[in-house]
Structure formats: structure tokens, C-alpha cells
Structure 1
Amino acid sequence: MLEAELKKPVKVYHDHLALSLNNVNFTTEDTRDRTERNTHPNEKSLNFLNNKSCDCRQILTKNTSMDSLCSSFTKDYPPQRNSNDSSAINKGLLMDFLHQTSSCDQSSTEQLHSADVLASLSPHSSLLQHMDTRTHIVIELYNTEQSYVESLQIIVQKYMNPLKSSDCDVAIDKQIVDDIFYMVPSILNIHEGFLDELKKRLDCWNSNQIIGDAFNNVFSCGAVLEIYSNFVNNLSKARDSIRNCCSTQTSFARFLEIQAKEHKGKLPLDNLLIKPIQKFPNYELILSRLIKHTEGEHPDQILLQEANKTVHRILLHINCKEREALQSGQREAVLREIESAIEGVSNLVMADRSFIAFELVTIFSGQSARKERGLFLFSDLIILTSIKRRSGTVRKPNIINYNIAANVETNKYKFLTKIPISDLEFVKTKDDNSRKSIKEIEYLMEDSKKIQQILAAVTTLRCPHQHLEEAARELEKDLEKQLSEKQLNDGQLSVVEFTVGGNSSGTDGGQNMSIQFVNPERRSLWEQAFREAKQKFASSLEIIPMPEFISSIPIRKTRAGLQFTCAASTLGAQNDVWVCNSDGYVGQVCVLSLNAEPTVTSCNGVCNARILCVTSVPSEIEWQPDKGSTSMTNQLKSTPSFEENSENCTKTIKVQSLSTLFNNIHLDSSSSSDNESEKDFISDTKCNIHKTDHHPLQPFDCGDFSQSTMWLGTEDGCIHVYNCSDNIRIKRNKIKMQHNSAVYHILYMNNKVYVALANGDLIIYTRENLGTGWNTSDPITLTIGSASNPITKLLNVDGKLWCSIQGVIKIFNVSTHQVENEVQISSESKPITNMVVSQHGVWMSIQNSSVLKCFHSKTYEIVVEVNVSGPVSKMLSNCDDIIRQHKAACLRITALLACRDLICIGTSAGVLLVIQSGNVAAGRHLVNSTAMPMPHGHTGHVRFLTCVETTEGSRSNSNSRKGTQTKHKKESSILLISGGDGCEDFRNSNINSMNDIAGREDSTNHLLLWKV
């Protein structure tokens, strides 16, 4: 595409300038040798130069009259011919040249420095032809640059600015306008400066003038490479946005059509946006010509060579980015085809996912049952589908590499399950016969290769070798026959056996799965592709994708001493986050709206106690059984921030009263918590079950079960319930349930709400019959801990409820209401302060510790142990010595969050870190992992971490401008939110600490937002 554009003829502006310069040179040289008139290089270059673009109207010159210029010319360069006709010819040519050039622009002050140019082009100089060509090339460079700048100005002034104007008739989102014209204003600024540099040099043009330094000064800057890279990355998104807007908005399409007609070249917007891609190939061609026509001793020669290297490097980078964008577009197109071909699959298109292979296979189910399945292999997972044959089709077990639709459309596919490739391990075969058969086939394949080598050697013999060759070919056929029969008769060679979630020997509690391919060759090819994909996937996990910082939002304190405690997002279309504050006496809720720009819409008190936890609970309509799978929502549970001394109480305190409720979960927050108490071991796995007969504190409105709700647990034992859509400024809580002990944690799981109390009780709320809401008058009370050993955290891990009690995890079966197992996490008496789950890893932090531990959810073995003190100290290196030493001395982990494949960590130093959770997805022994700090954080403690899923277009993100590939449907992303004291960029901590405003902001609560 670029080569085709470069081969197009350049528009001619200045034929008169090129013709006149060549005519002058031709006439003077003709006085030397008439016989060389038709072969002189200047004449040969005439046709070449006449096709180049020169625009003398844009070149400024000195104040020189025509007569003075003519006299100066004839004086400095007297004609070689004695005849007056020669002088008349020279003068006439020059007059004609000046007359023609002046007709381009009436102002004589804006003409080319013709006298200086001609003075440098002495007929007696051997550099004549080179300097003439060099001058033409520089003029061509100037005019092509001016044309490029004019095109960029048209994009900005005729398209971007009108579309962003409030007076524009086209109703288009300003965010879409920014996506379409991303980086164009920055590119315009660069080239306007470059055009000015060229103009300054042409203003004082002479034979020793240099051009290469202008290239080096402008394009050697790293910002140019970054700007062009971002533009190329975004170009596909810009084109898709233009195409989508034209198809959905006729006013936008009409606007583009009108602007294209007004353009002098009738170029549409798409053609104008491609010009930055074509610019650097043009630079490279011009610089190559300039180097060729510049003498080796000229001061510009070295500079031009350096400029050519700089331009070539940028060109290679742009071509690489363009190639990557093209490949990414093709990759996503294949994923969309597969997604449309498989019924029931969703969210298949991801930035780092690619399709590898497809096979029709047979999966063994039970002892003898066999089921035909479709097996799709991707770079990070496999998908199994059921198959329904289309009428009149024939089975095609071909591996799909490129066009998926052409191969898959022969059958109908329905999604069954998807398994991460990190969870799959090949089972080591133990069958001696299978190993013997595999060895025999390997020997036959080796013998076949050796026979082929013998045949190749036999053909090179000069002596008669017919009988030898015939014997070798007969042996080759016999080996091929044996190999084919062996592969067809031995069906075991076509079977691959996996263990899902276990080890390679199949003894680690994993589920075995046997897959039979069409033949051993198919199995071998697929197995090789799988191993390569798994190896690449494991390598990619070592690179941690850092969340992109968006903005910080200060939350002004309405009361002295208010601090964040926890937060959770609502469910439904409102896209809000409820952030809880407390000063120990009043509980306050601030509502952060994410519908447009993140904005705090309200901040009101809801109770007279500290709010320790908050969670969202789905409505009765929204809830669906998930068969034990752990959603992201259940992984990010609200946890309290509390400091409390334990008492030596051993008796169980029963729950008193509760009310009714219904709805909501999506995600919850993990917040800071510090609690010191003694550990307690339960000797019996059975729990005491108590049922209390209490009435709700206020009547329950049975008319609304379709709304999700927010549950707030407080230090005085109350649970306040609000509808997610309620305006807490004008509405009271819908339900209020009172307990005798503080509510430490609330967890929604499988249509039940679990509440952990400070007295060690676990309260279970269940829904009554459909349409009647929650049973709050008769909840289930289970004694799991005690007052001295309370339940501080609850977590849903593979359908089991993990309860943290001091340094012990008790695994609770939600069906039998019994403790199935106990896992000792800490040998000390310090409790677990934070706990999240991601894939097969359960991540935990201990009170007053900077060490993060990860345990395998099946084997309960520790697989990762990460100390964050090193990365935090490195991030605090720019802080004041006293502050750094103080933060390092009392460093501890205060918040945890599992967000997609990342574990986000909040610390008491205000530094936030991320760990790639996929590194230990299938780990079964200690693995080294590194926590990567984020440059933005808080001045004080990180009080909580939470996240919310958003869709593109639901909010404006002015700072997030990285080019990504556009999908036809709205793309979802995760918004990470942290709450804490103050806001700080640790890269400039020393500078910020000297700012008076920064000092005042340190005590202000801030919400920090990142895009994951």
C-alpha cells in the first residue's frame, strides 16, 4: 500500500522555476561546447526536474528588484560569447524566469533568493549539476512538507474542531471524536515546527546551507516516535469509529461528504488520515536523493546521513506497529468467527488470546460411553462443544489455521465448558503395552528415515546400482506399510489423557479426561501445538500488565476524623460505588457515580456507628446457581477496618433479631484490618445450630423483589439494607437487623447471605419461597469461633466457605453446615487480615506483616510467599529520609483484591502493588513471584481496594489514550479503585513534599482510579 502511494506522481507547482534554472545553466554551458548541448547532464535532468513540485509562492526572498538582479547577474557572470545575442539571451531568460515566478506571487519580497542561488551555480564550477539538483530537491522537500501540514490543518480545522464544537449539527460523543483524531494535533505541531525550520534555511539559501540538522533536531526526539506509534496503534480504531458513525448517523456521513467536496483534492477523511503513515517513506526517498547529490566534503553530508538513519529507524518502527495492528485485526476477526459459530460462548475476543487449532474428537464418559465433541485450542484455554450434524454434510476433521468459518460451518456447535491450559496436565502413561507400541512406531519411523538417506546416497553412485536401488525402495514400501498398519490398529496411540487441576501422575485430586483423535498423526500434531501454547502462556505470565492510572478524587470530610473503612459497587444499570467512612461515632456513605466522569453525587450519614463492611446482594431475579464456581464478585469481599482488643470469652452469644431483605452482589472490597486476639481450635467439626424466634424491627415491604440491595454491617451489630437505586440522602434504610455483636464480614454466596460476627457466630440468611424475600425472622446461627477467636473473614473458594479465625482457616461445607477441614496458616497468634481467591490460589496477609502468602485451594500447600518490603522501599526512595524510615518500620499489608489475573496489594505506606496471579494457577510447590509497585498511591494507609466492571462509552477517560483494537460491540473493562489518606506520585515525592497544597491534601481522603 505504501509503495503504491509512493509511486504516484508528485504534483507539479513550479515548472517555471525548474525550467528557468535549467535554461540558464544550459545557455552558459553551451558557450563552451556546442557539441555537448544535447547530452549535458543538466539537460538530462531537465525532464526529471520538471516533474518535481516547487511552489515559489511559499519561499521568502530578499528585496531585490528585477533590474538590479539582472545587472548583478550580468556583472558577476559575463557571457562567454562575444556576441550581444548571448547576453540578450541570458538576460531575456532571467527576465522571463523572474516574470514567471513573480506572477505566482505579486509581492517581490517573497521571491526565491534567485541571485544567491544563481551565484552559487557558477558555470565554471564542477558542482553545477549537483547544486542545481540539490536545490530542486530542497524546494521539493519544502513544498511536500507544506502540503502535508496543510492536510493536517484541514483535519484539525475542518473536521475535528467543528465536530467538538457545541454549535455542530452532528450529535456525536466527544470521546468518539477524540478517538478518531487521536494524536493528529500533536503530529501537526511537530511538522509545523519542521516547516518553519526549512523555511528559515531557504530564506538564506547558499551553496553551503545545511538541511540535515533540521531533521535531526525534530525527529531524533523520543516523543516523535511515541506519538507516531500511538497514532498507528489507534488508526484501526479510528477507522472503525468512522465506519460505525457513518452507518448509524446520517448527519455524520453527510458532514464528511460535504467536507470532502470542499477539499481541493476531493479527498475523504480516510485518505487524509493515512497521510502520516505515508510521510516517512517520502522522507527516506528525499534524503537518499539529497545524500546522492551532496558532495562528500559538504558540511551537510554527515548530517544528512544521520538524518537518514533516524528517519529509517522511525519508519521501521511504524511499519512494525502497522504490521502488528493488521495481525491483531486478523486475529480478532478469527475469534469473532469462532464466537459466532459456537452457541452459548461469550467474551471470547481478548487482546492477548489467539486461535490455534480445532479438532473433532471423541471423549470417553463413564466406563464405555463415548461422545463426539468439538475441541478448540486457544493460546490460553481449550473449549469443548457438543456437535450436531447439519443435514447432508460430511465430517471434516481438518485442523483450522486461518479461515475458521469455512471448516466449522459443516456442523453446529454448542458450548459445554472451557478449561485454562494452565489447569491441564498430560497424564503419564503406565501401560507397558502402550509404551511398547509407541517404541515400535518410533523405531519404524527412524528406519524409514535411514532408508530414505540410503536411497539418496545410492542415486549418487557411478557404478551400476539398479538392484540395490530396487531393494532399498522395496524395503521403504514395506516399512511404510508396517507403520501405517501399526498406527491404524493401535487405537491407544490416538488417545490423549489429561488431568484437570491435578498433577501429571493423576494422583493430586484432579479429574481425568481422555480424548481420542482421528489418528495418531492428528494426536501428535495437536499435542505438539498444545505444549507450545502452554509454554508460551507460562512465559507470558512473567510480564505483569500494570493498571493504567486515570484520576484521583478528593472526598472532603464533613466531620473531623472521618476515614474510609470499606467500599462495594452496586448492581444494575446505575454503575455506582458506595464508599463508607467513619470516625467511630458516625457511619457515612459516599456514592461515587461512574455513568459519565467519576463524580461523588452524595455523602450522607446512615448510622451512629462505624461501618465495618459492605456488600452488594443480587435480586431474586438476578440470582442463578453457579454450581460451586467462584465469580470475581465473590472473590472481592468487603472486609472491615477495625482495631479492637480481645476479651477472654468462651461462651457463644446467640443472634437476637433480624429483618428481611432481597437483592445484590457484583463486587465487594477488601479493606485494611488489624486485630489481635488468641487463636482457637475447634476439636469437633460439627457446629451448634441455633434458631431464634424474633420479629423484624420494622415491617418488610413485600412488593419489590426485583431490585438489588446493599448490606452494611456496623460495629454496634446492625445490618442496614438499602436498595441499590435508593438515594440515601432522602431515603431511610429498607431493613435494619440488630445483633448482639459487631458485624465483621458479609458474604453473598449461592442465594444465601453469610454474616460473620465478633462473637464467633456465623449467621446464614436464606430466601423464603419465591416472591417473599429473605427470611430474617428465623435465621440459622452456627457457632464457628468464639468471642476471643472471632470470624474475621469469609471467602467463597470452589463452593466452600473459608472462615478465618486467628491464624486458622476453617473450611465450611455450605450444604451440610459442618467444618470439613482446618488449615493452619500462621504459627503465631496473629489473625488473618485479608483473604482473596484467584483461580487455584488463595492469597492471605497476616496482621502487622509485610509478607503475602498464597495457598493452593486443593492441596492447602503454600505455593507463593512474597515480601513486599523490598519493592515498597524502592518506591519510597524519593521520599524524605524520616518519612521513609517511619513507613518502612511499620510496613504491613492493609488491603487485598483479586482483579482478573492480578492480585492488587495495598500497604500501610500508601504504596500499591500488583502480582500476576496466573503464575501460581496450577502451582503445587513454592514459587518465587515478584510484586510490582505502581507509581501512584496514597500518602497514608490504603484503607480499601475494590473494582467495578464498566463498558466503553459509559465514562469519559481523558487521560487514558492508548490505542486499542475496536470491537463491534461495547468492550468491558475493569475500573480499579483504592481509598486512602492523601494522594501521591511517588516518582516525584520529594518535590510534592515541599508543596504547601500537598501538605494540606495529605489529611484528605482520596479515591484513586485505574483502568485494568
Structure 2
Amino acid sequence: MGAFALLTATSWRSISANLRSDKNTIKMIVQKWKLIEPKTRCCRDHPNKLDLDALLISPIQRVPRYELIVKQMLKHTPVEHEDRERLQRAQRHIHCLAVAINQHKDGSEQMEQRLREIEAIVDGLDDLVTKERTLLRHDIITLKGTDRERCIFMLSDLLLVTSVKKKAKVMYNKLTSQSMDFLESNRFKLLFKVALEDVQISKDTLSQLETVERKLESSREDDRVLKKMSQLCSLLKCEKKLCTATVVPGKRVDNTPFLWVCASDKFSGQVAVMALDSGEITIESCSAIGNAAVTAMCTVPPPMKPRKRKIKSQKSLEQMQNETIMDINSSGSDSESSSDEGASTAGQTTVWIGNDDGEVFVVNSTERVRSRTRDRLARLRNSITSICAANGNVLVATSYSNQVQLLLFRPGSDGNWDLDNPQTVGHVCQAPITNMQQIGRRVIIASGNSLHSYFIDTGKFQPPVEILPSSDVITLMNVTGQYVFLCGRKSTEIFVFDVFELSVLNNFNIASFVRSQLLGREHILREHKMGCLRVSCLTVARHNLWIGTSAGFVLSTSVQSAKSNPTPDLRVCEIGHSGPCRILLPIQTPTHFNHSSRKQKRSSLNVPSQQSSQQLLVSCGEGLDDGTATQDPSTDSINHLIFWKCS
């Protein structure tokens, strides 16, 4: 028994000496092999059993009990017995082990108390006290080149750096800085803390400091250069380029429409609202919108509300017409309620503006662009690529990398657009959606080199039709009737597509015609414009196809000739742009109105707009070019709008 007790006492001393290293080894294995979750799950499934930490500490906890057992064995062992000496040696080992355990326990409690005192005197420091953490030392250092002092607390696993502020005039040095009087006579504020495992200790500190100083000086020089570049950049003038436009109807059927034009410099957007009254163009407002480039714009009519009433007599018809006129007048009035509630879009035409940050601004057409109305917006994850109003709903296409999303916005029960709960439309588009146009009950969607037909009523797609080569992308598209005119990226070839027959009717190239128009120009200018020639915009107005080019020319041909002739009869407008023609947009305007007779006002509601209106075509681009080379070259980068009257 004496030999067994002596062997057990020796084993206990070994367990006690290696307890901390064993715990660290177990912790490292658990983290390395990702055993935290299995360990937690086992402890949860077996709450009555001990975990690894409890099993390691259990022999240490039994030391006092074993000391009592050995004392009882010595009491009943004769003096002359051969095991008595071994039992006495075992008792001494166990007693020394118990004393060491008590001292370690007292030292841990004292260390925890000291850590609590440090935590209390250092502002901004919390969660400092843990079972395994100990304070190694603390000391004062002075920053090089200054008289500012810092106190560094080094713990077993952490390094704390604090500022020092004296409570009173106390003289201290390296010896007194280790005392508690030093801590009590100063105030400390935590600057930062670093784990010791992240601290790299270098013996050659002098060369390291010199290297750091050289890097700091190089960084200061780079900072001076960047500030100088920033000052020079502030002197540069960055003009916003026109990117999209839309026509917004007036408050009444017989009112002239408004032209909304967006410009962007890829970092911000700007919207200008122009009125076309009495044949003169006036800018009503111009304001910034969003903090990203504008990528899409669309005029959206008010949500349709079916009337559940029967017209039984001419009297009721006149009453309904009067109510309609009153509704139109009230929608454009500047009443107190409409000016205070600028975010309401119920029963009003709205303009949807999308940008590169995934924001869709919904602006009332009668409110123009003001900060209050811009509170009405939808925030989406990806960049907006196209917006289309179709069948009382709004389709918004977004894309990022290879993620293409098509969202359907519907009106809410209160008459406003529900911008918070769009419906995701399932599709098979593999490339970003670049354009969407409505034809009847379907929406034609351009994605990659293909066209997709989407029926909103049924929510189904027709199989896509490839129009361009696989390496090209459809960027321009315009519809008239059942025909779609489209063009690829950086291309001079225009395709004509029949939606109902799902076939390409014709395609023609404009490059040779543009080259013929540049024959009288300077050689370097001609080669430059032909080298980057492309179709930049398309539209249809009064049975003519209008083509804008990057060379600044505005071309036109009849729709019938474009559909059937491989070399259509192209005409060029007498005035063009010196830079690219970016936007072509038809505008329907009234010709003459007599507002003196209320009867004429009522009857004008039933007259087709084509019988009392004329059509204008606006061309938006950079600079002006009339072919005489007499324009000021300094205006070539200024955005110009040219208005044409379509005959």
C-alpha cells in the first residue's frame, strides 16, 4: 500500500504541473479540427457527465481527501511496518501538493482582484478578468520627439496601450511605476489593445524603426502629391452627357407635353424639365437626382381604376364628363394638400428614373423634381438596366455580373405604386436586359443577342429568337406596330424583326451612306468618325425611321423602305451634331386650341389626338454641325437639343 500511495502522489504532482499545458493542448486541438460544435453537442446530450475540463481538474480536487486517507492509514500502521516510510513520503508529497494548490488558488484570486482594479482605473476597458489571464508587468514609455507618455500593460495574452494623465504632481520612475501607488495617482484611457500572438518581437529594432520612418516619409510625400492632384482635378470641367429622355403628358389632354431629359457624368444624375408652350421651349426646372449615373427612364400612366357605374342617359354622360374635367384639373392643381404630400402618386402620371446604384425614383409628373418627391423610391440590389410600363404595371430589369433579375411593380390598394413588394418574374435571360418595349399584350425584351416575348396577363415567355451573332448584344430597339427595329453594340447594321411571325424581315447598313456624307470633310476628321461609327439611337415618327449616329448625322427613311429594301433610300438632316447624337424622341403637340368655349373643352375629350396635333422630333447630342464648318469649336462638348417638325 505504501508503494501504491507513493506512486499515486507522484502522479498527482505530474498532473498538477501539466494541467495548464494540457488545457492549452486540448483547446488547440478543438480549434484545429473544428470540434467545438461536436463538443458542445455532446455536453448538451449528456448533461450528467463531465466534460474534458472537469475530468482534468477532478484529480486535483481530490487531493485533500487523499491526504486525509493517507493520515488514517498512518494512524493504523505500526512503526516497524515496512510501508510506514513510504506512506510518510506519500503524505509529504500530497501535503506539498495541497499547499501548492492553495497557493495557486490564492494567487489566482489576488490576480483577479488586481485585474479588476486595473479595469476600474482604465477608461474604456471592460471584460479584462478571465481565469487564465495574468498581469506580467506595466511600464511607462515616452513617444519619440514628444513629451507625451503612454502606459503599457502586458498580460499573459494581451497588450494594452493607454494614455496617462496625472491626477497630481507625483514624481515617478521605472521603479515606482510598478507600484499600485503609481496606478492610483494617475488616470488612464485605453487607446488600443493587441493580442500577443499578433505582436512580432524583433531584436533589430533600430533598423526596423528606420524602415518604418522611411515608409512614413514616402507616405507623406504620396499624400502631398495626391492633394496636389486633387487641386488640379478641381480645376477640370466635367460636362454631363445626355443619356435618356422621355415625354410626359400635360395636365389636360389639350395641354402641351413636357420633355424630361437626363444627363449624367457616371457619378451623379441630373434631370431637366422643359415645357413646349406656344412653340417656344423653356426650361422649367433642373435639379440633381441620386448619387450615381442614370441608366433608365420611363413615363408611367396612372394605375387604371375600373368604373362600376352604368350610363343610363345623356345627363349622366355629361355629369361624368364634368367629373372627368374636374379630376384632370384637380390632379394638376397646386393645392395645399398636394404640395404637402408630394410623395403621393395615386391617380397621377409618374416618371420612373433608375440609376446605377439600384435606386428607382418615382416622381409625380405635376410635381417636377424636388427633394420631397424623391423620398418615393425603391432600393434594389443591382443596377437598373431598363424600365417599361405595360398593362397597368411596371417592369424593372436589373443586373450585376451574370445575375439578371426582372421585377414587376403593381399598384397598391391606396392607388399608389407598391414599391416595397415587387414580384420577381421568372425568365430564361442569360445576359443583362438592355431594352423593353410593349407591343399589344406582350413585352419585347432584348437580352444579349436575342429577343424574348413576355405576356403579362399569363406570365409566360415565348421561346427566344436569336437576331445577332453570339458575340454581339442588342443595345437599341424601337417598335412600331408589329415591327421591331434593332441594332447591336457599336454596330452600323439595323435589323427589322416581325414580332408575330418571329422572323427577320430585312437588315441594312448605313456605313457607306455616312462615308459619302463625309467626303468633303478633313481627312483626319473623316477617318476618326468612320473608325468609331455606330448607330447611337433609333426612333419612329410619322411613318419614318429616324437614325442617330455617332458621327452626329441624323438620318431618316420610310418605314416601308426600311422593312423591305436592303439599301433603303436614306436622307440626312441639314443640321446635325458635331459629336454623337445620343437621343431621338418624337413629341406629339397640339396645334391650336380655343379655351373660350366650355363646349369645345368637352368635345376635345373625344377628338383623336392625331386630328388636332403635330409631331416634333427632338435630337439630343453634343455640339452643332450645319456642314459649313463655321461653328465655334469650343461648343462641341456642350449638349444641344434640335427640334424638328415632322411633315
| In 2: Cα distance, 1:741 partner to 1:727 partner | 26
SS of the aligned residue for 1:598 comes to: strand
Q: Which residue of the other structure, out of 569, 573, 577, is the alignment partner of 1:934?
A: 573
Q: CA deviation at 1:864?
A: 1.7
**1:205-354 matched pairs, under 5 angstroms:** none
Aligned amino acid, residue 240 of structure 2: L
Match of 1:297 in 2: none
User: For this pair of structures, how many residues does the alignment match?
Assistant: 358
Match of 2:640 in 1: 1006
- Residue 565 in 1 paired to residue 243 in 2? yes
8 Å CA contact 1:722, 1:734 repeated in 2 = no
Q: Which residue of the other structure, out of 454, 469, 481, is the alignment partner of 1:839?
A: 481
| In 2: Cα distance, 1:602 partner to 1:774 partner | 25
Q: Which residue of the other structure, out of 889, 907, 916, is the alignment partner of 2:531?
A: 889
| In 1: Cα distance, 2:524 partner to 2:282 partner | 35
Match of 2:471 in 1: 829
Q: Which residue of the other structure, out of 858, 868, 874, is the alignment partner of 2:516?
A: 874
Per-residue Cα deviation, 1:243-262 (whole angstroms, up to 9, x for no partner): xxxxxxxxxxxxxxxxxxxx
Aligned amino acid, residue 937 of structure 1: G
8 Å CA contact 1:572, 1:708 repeated in 2 = no
| In 2: Cα distance, 1:722 partner to 1:701 partner | 9
Per-residue Cα deviation, 1:153-204 (whole angstroms, up to 9, x for no partner): xxxxxxxxxxxxxxxxxxxxxxxxxxxxxxxxxxxxxxxxxxxxxxxxxxxx
| In 2: Cα distance, 1:851 partner to 1:944 partner | 18
Per-residue Cα deviation, 1:613-635 (whole angstroms, up to 9, x for no partner): 111111236999xxxxxxxxxxx
| In 1: Cα distance, 2:395 partner to 2:261 partner | 21
Considering only CA atoms, is the larger Rg found in Structure 1 or Structure 2?
Answer: 2
Aligned amino acid, residue 584 of structure 2: L
**1:257-656 matched pairs, under 5 angstroms:** 560-573=238-251, 575-596=257-278, 597-620=280-303
Q: CA deviation at 1:559?
A: 6.2
Match of 2:422 in 1: 779
**1:109-258 matched pairs, under 5 angstroms:** none
- Residue 903 in 1 paired to residue 545 in 2? yes
**1:629-708 matched pairs, under 5 angstroms:** 705-708=346-349
| In 1: Cα distance, 2:547 partner to 2:559 partner | 12
User: In structure 2, do the counterparts of structure 1 residues 970 and 812 end up closer, same or farther at CA, with 3 Å as the change threshold?
Assistant: closer
User: In structure 2, do the counterparts of structure 1 residues 880 and 571 end up closer, same or farther at CA, with 3 Å as the change threshold?
Assistant: same
SS of the aligned residue for 2:526 comes to: helix
User: In structure 2, do the counterparts of structure 1 residues 848 and 622 end up closer, same or farther at CA, with 3 Å as the change threshold?
Assistant: farther
Q: CA deviation at 1:700?
A: 9.0
| In 2: Cα distance, 1:619 partner to 1:951 partner | 22
Match of 2:379 in 1: 738
User: In structure 2, do the counterparts of structure 1 residues 968 and 711 end up closer, same or farther at CA, with 3 Å as the change threshold?
Assistant: closer
8 Å CA contact 1:841, 1:917 repeated in 2 = no
TM-score by length of 1: 0.34
| In 2: Cα distance, 1:982 partner to 1:947 partner | 20
**1:80-119 matched pairs, under 5 angstroms:** none
Q: CA deviation at 1:875?
A: 2.2
8 Å CA contact 1:700, 1:735 repeated in 2 = no
| In 1: Cα distance, 2:530 partner to 2:609 partner | 48
User: In structure 2, do the counterparts of structure 1 residues 721 and 704 end up closer, same or farther at CA, with 3 Å as the change threshold?
Assistant: closer
Query: CA-atom RMSD, angstroms?
Result: 2.9
| In 2: Cα distance, 1:622 partner to 1:1001 partner | 49
User: In structure 2, do the counterparts of structure 1 residues 732 and 815 end up closer, same or farther at CA, with 3 Å as the change threshold?
Assistant: closer
| In 2: Cα distance, 1:900 partner to 1:927 partner | 21
Per-residue Cα deviation, 1:47-84 (whole angstroms, up to 9, x for no partner): xxxxxxxxxxxxxxxxxxxxxxxxxxxxxxxxxxxxxx
| In 1: Cα distance, 2:456 partner to 2:398 partner | 17
Q: CA deviation at 1:580?
A: 0.3
Aligned amino acid, residue 417 of structure 2: W
- Residue 749 in 1 paired to residue 390 in 2? yes
Aligned amino acid, residue 584 of structure 1: K
| In 2: Cα distance, 1:904 partner to 1:920 partner | 10
| In 1: Cα distance, 2:425 partner to 2:409 partner | 12
8 Å CA contact 2:561, 2:569 repeated in 1 = no
| In 1: Cα distance, 2:562 partner to 2:526 partner | 32
User: In structure 2, do the counterparts of structure 1 residues 599 and 914 end up closer, same or farther at CA, with 3 Å as the change threshold?
Assistant: same
**1:938-957 matched pairs, under 5 angstroms:** 938-953=577-592
SS of the aligned residue for 2:539 comes to: strand
| In 2: Cα distance, 1:968 partner to 1:774 partner | 28
**Which is richer in helix?**
1
**Which is richer in strand?**
2
Deviates more, 1:976-985 or 1:815-824: 815-824
User: In structure 2, do the counterparts of structure 1 residues 884 and 969 end up closer, same or farther at CA, with 3 Å as the change threshold?
Assistant: closer
SS of the aligned residue for 2:435 comes to: strand
Q: CA deviation at 1:934?
A: 1.4
Q: Which has the higher contact order (CA 8 A, sep 6+)?
A: 1
8 Å CA contact 2:343, 2:373 repeated in 1 = no
* Identical amino acids, percent of aligned pairs: 25
Aligned amino acid, residue 264 of structure 2: S
User: In structure 2, do the counterparts of structure 1 residues 559 and 749 end up closer, same or farther at CA, with 3 Å as the change threshold?
Assistant: farther
Per-residue Cα deviation, 1:596-641 (whole angstroms, up to 9, x for no partner): 31122322111111111111111236999xxxxxxxxxxxxxxxxx
Return 5+ residue gaps in structure 2 as ranges. 1-235, 308-327, 329-339, 594-607
User: In structure 2, do the counterparts of structure 1 residues 706 and 564 end up closer, same or farther at CA, with 3 Å as the change threshold?
Assistant: same
Return 5+ residue gaps in structure 1 as ranges. 1-557, 625-662, 664-698, 955-966
8 Å CA contact 1:617, 1:709 repeated in 2 = yes
| In 2: Cα distance, 1:818 partner to 1:621 partner | 22
| In 2: Cα distance, 1:969 partner to 1:943 partner | 27
8 Å CA contact 1:866, 1:931 repeated in 2 = no
User: In structure 2, do the counterparts of structure 1 residues 875 and 755 end up closer, same or farther at CA, with 3 Å as the change threshold?
Assistant: same
Per-residue Cα deviation, 1:458-514 (whole angstroms, up to 9, x for no partner): xxxxxxxxxxxxxxxxxxxxxxxxxxxxxxxxxxxxxxxxxxxxxxxxxxxxxxxxx
SS of the aligned residue for 1:594 comes to: strand
| In 1: Cα distance, 2:405 partner to 2:344 partner | 31
SS of the aligned residue for 1:878 comes to: coil
User: In structure 2, do the counterparts of structure 1 residues 833 and 929 end up closer, same or farther at CA, with 3 Å as the change threshold?
Assistant: same
| In 1: Cα distance, 2:360 partner to 2:486 partner | 26
Q: CA deviation at 1:830?
A: 1.3
Per-residue Cα deviation, 1:233-252 (whole angstroms, up to 9, x for no partner): xxxxxxxxxxxxxxxxxxxx
SS of the aligned residue for 1:883 comes to: helix
8 Å CA contact 1:760, 1:785 repeated in 2 = no
User: In structure 2, do the counterparts of structure 1 residues 731 and 873 end up closer, same or farther at CA, with 3 Å as the change threshold?
Assistant: farther
User: In structure 2, do the counterparts of structure 1 residues 595 and 782 end up closer, same or farther at CA, with 3 Å as the change threshold?
Assistant: same
- Residue 915 in 1 paired to residue 563 in 2? no
Q: CA deviation at 1:751?
A: 0.3
User: In structure 2, do the counterparts of structure 1 residues 622 and 815 end up closer, same or farther at CA, with 3 Å as the change threshold?
Assistant: closer
